[in-house]
Amino acid sequence: TIFGRVKLTAQTRDASSKFAEAIRGRPEVLDCYTTMGEWDFMLKVVMRDIKAFEAFFLDHLSKLPYVQSINSSVTVTAIKESTVLPIL
């Protein structure tokens, strides 16, 4: 599992829409969120190994519309994973 933070070249509706449209078609990306602050998007990417992520990064992610920079963090251990919503 890799968490990626993506910064676009422009913070416009068109740039965000084009990036979002392109990322929706990537099955490796389980989750994608818009964020405020230094980065524009946060991705959760699942790959079989780091070599596969490298290929995805070089061949696809870095070539998406309006991508300026990407910061990736590779997970080592999952301490807690859940899909249960804490609705009380």
pTM for the predicted model, two decimal places? 0.88
Give the strand pairing for 41-45 and 2-8: antiparallel
Q: How many CB atoms lie within 10 A of CB 87?
A: 4
Alpha helices, DSSP H, located in 1-88: 13-24, 50-59
User: For 39-53, how does the pLDDT look when each residue is reduced to its tens digit (9 = 90+)?
Assistant: 999 999 999 999 999
Assigned token pair, 81:
């994973």
User: For 3-40, how does the pLDDT look when each residue is reduced to its tens digit (9 = 90+)?
Assistant: 999 999 999 999 999 999 999 999 999 999 999 999 99
Residue matched to tokens 């994608």: 32
At residue 85, does pLDDT exceed 90?
no
